[in-house]
């Protein structure tokens, strides 16, 4: 699977853009602010129906305009797939596959798998547990539709239960039987979410550790540990047991929405004890593990988006990463870089097809 052509109208800083992509490595070079990340984000839109920067759709419309369009032509299993994403102010987002409108965006997730690494990946280490859960959810949802369905239902039930719990602080009467209904719904979906997350962590860990060893030259021991309240108790019993506490707090304090993933280096939290280079290597290794994991589940390589991944890495690690993605196991790759010479110098020594687009001059270099 690969992207053949990408077209944009009024997307972020691009009034119009058209790019015939290489089936292997595509490198976008230019100064900061020229639009390299925006191009990768447009590809992410065509896979996940949304931005990887968590912006609202309207924020991605070019200043002064009232709509944007992203179109991508993909080759998938020898078939052409034309994907269209259109956003207009004050109207519902339009998302189409081969001119047929999706009724639910969740129906599209997993058709065109994409793995992305951005400068914001450090948030996985430094920010809250919700960021790490979303990371796991994004991976599992790409190959398991039932997981996405359970996740949506769980979040709806959680929202309704929390509304009831907050009613204690108003004049509204709380119906214990109604809370119990939502306890059942939460439990039903939580157990399935928990099992899939547990299996995911067990399968991802050795792949992640393999990539970290390759990039770091086997210098450090790293671990990824899945932390969940459901390790010890089933959710329904815990919700019943903690009801008085939840009524006092006004929200649900127990469940898979409290899950986390602990990142360790040499048995210590990498957030506190890892250098910038080690942390960068950690998250890049996670993204490469994501790629290999998705490939094994879907039996095809995802498109790999690597945005400014070379910052804070020494030359040796940059070379190792480039050689890794040039191997046959990887499919189509899009790389951004602020250096005008680094990727051209590295790629010219590799026996691989590539296209380099200089966004400052619109010059294209191919092999």
Write out the DSSP string of 136-183.
HHHHHHTT-HHHHHHHHHHHHHHHHHHHHHHGGGSSSPP-HHHHHHHH
267: containing domain: 120-298
Q: Which of 260, 278, 298 is the last residue of a domain?
A: 298
Looking at residue 218, its pLDDT comes to 75
- pLDDT band of 54, cuts 50, 70, 90: low
As a whole number, mean pLDDT of residues 323-350 equals: 83
Tokens of 187: 């439990």
The number of distinct structural domains making up the chain is 2
Element (H, E) at 343: helix 342-347
DSSP secondary structure code for residue 61 in this structure: B
Dihedral pair phi/psi, residue 209, rounded to 5°: -65, -35
Which of 134, 124, 111 has its CA nearest to residue 48? 111
Helix (H, G, I), strand (E, B) or coil at 190: helix
User: What are the strands, taking DSSP E only, across the chain?
Assistant: 2-11, 14-20, 25-29, 67-76, 79-88, 94-97, 100-101, 114-117, 222-227, 260-265, 268-269, 303-307, 333-337, 354-358, 363-366
Same domain, 8 and 46: yes
- pLDDT band of 147, cuts 50, 70, 90: very high
pLDDT in tens, 93-115: 999 999 999 988 989 988 999 99
Using the predicted structure, report yes or no on whether residue 172 has a pLDDT greater than 70.
no
Same domain, 210 and 247: yes
Query: Is the Cα dihedral 99, 103, 104, 110 positive or negative?
Result: negative
**Planar angle of CA 109, 48, 119, nearest 5 degrees:** 140
For residues 255 and 281, is the Cβ–Cβ distance under 8 A? Answer: no
Looking at residue 136, its pLDDT comes to 94
Same domain, 91 and 67: yes
Give the N- to C-terminal CA distance of the chain in Å, as an integer. 20
Query: What's the CATH number where 346 sits?
Result: 3.40.50.300
Same domain, 199 and 314: no
Same domain, 28 and 45: yes
As a whole number, mean pLDDT of residues 293-300 equals: 89
Contacts of 105 (CB under 8 A, 6+ apart): 49, 93, 95
- pLDDT band of 223, cuts 50, 70, 90: very high
Q: Which of 298, 317, 345 is the last residue of a domain?
A: 298
Same domain, 150 and 272: yes
As a whole number, mean pLDDT of residues 352-363 equals: 90
Which of 152, 162, 169 has its CA nearest to residue 183? 162
Query: Residue 224 and residue 239: Cα distance in Å, rounded?
Result: 28
Using the predicted structure, report yes or no on whether residue 260 has a pLDDT greater than 90.
yes
- pLDDT band of 169, cuts 50, 70, 90: low
Query: What's the CATH number where 157 sits?
Result: 1.20.1050.90
Same domain, 256 and 348: no
- pLDDT band of 149, cuts 50, 70, 90: very high
Q: Which of 243, 276, 298 is the last residue of a domain?
A: 298
Same domain, 293 and 314: no
Same domain, 24 and 47: yes
Place of tokens 């992305």: 116
Query: Residue 197 and residue 271: Cα distance in Å, rounded?
Result: 22
Same domain, 162 and 213: yes
Looking at residue 170, its pLDDT comes to 65
Same domain, 260 and 323: no
Same domain, 141 and 290: yes
Looking at residue 53, its pLDDT comes to 82
Looking at residue 298, its pLDDT comes to 87
């Amino acid at each position: 699977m690969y992207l053949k052509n990408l077209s944009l109208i009024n997307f972020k800083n691009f009034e119009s853009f058209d790019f015939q992509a290489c089936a292997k490595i595509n490198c976008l070079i230019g100064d900061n602010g020229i639009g390299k990340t925006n191009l990768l984000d447009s590809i992410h839109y065509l896979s996940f129906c949304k931005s990887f920067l968590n912006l609202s759709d309207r924020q991605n419309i070019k200043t002064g305009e009232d709509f944007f369009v992203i179109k991508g032509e993909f080759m998938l299993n020898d078939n052409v797939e034309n994907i269209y994403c259109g956003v207009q102010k004050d109207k519902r987002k339009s998302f189409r596959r081969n001119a047929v409108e999706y009724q639910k965006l969740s129906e599209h997730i997993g058709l065109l798998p994409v793995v992305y690494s951005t400068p914001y990946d450090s948030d996985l280490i430094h920010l809250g547990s919700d960021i790490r859960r979303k990371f796991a959810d994004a991976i599992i949802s790409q190959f398991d539709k039932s997981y996405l369905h359970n996740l949506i239902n769980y979040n709806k039930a959680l929202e309704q239960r929390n509304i009831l719990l907050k009613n204690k602080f108003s004049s509204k009467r709380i119906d214990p039987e109604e809370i119990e209904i939502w306890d059942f719904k939460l439990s039903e979906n939580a157990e399935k979410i928990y099992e899939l997350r547990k299996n995911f962590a067990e399968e991802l860990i050795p792949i992640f550790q393999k990539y970290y060893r390759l990039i770091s030259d086997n210098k450090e021991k790293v671990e990824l540990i899945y932390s969940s309240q459901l390790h010890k108790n089933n959710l329904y019993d815990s919700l019943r047991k903690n009801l008085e506490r939840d009524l006092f707090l006004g929200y649900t304090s127990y469940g898979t929405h409290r899950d986390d993933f602990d990142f360790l280096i040499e048995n210590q939290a990498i957030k506190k004890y890892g250098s910038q280079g080690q942390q960068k290597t950690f998250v890049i290794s996670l993204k490469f593990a994501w790629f290999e994991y998705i490939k094994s589940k879907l039996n095809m390589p995802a498109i790999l988006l690597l945005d400014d991944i070379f910052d804070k890495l020494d030359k040796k690690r940059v070379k190792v990463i480039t050689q890794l993605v040039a191997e046959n196991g990887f499919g189509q790759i899009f790389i951004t870089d602020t250096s005008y010479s680094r990727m051209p110098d590295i790629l010219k020594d590799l026996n691989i097809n590539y296209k380099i687009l200089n966004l400052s001059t619109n010059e294209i270099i191919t092999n």
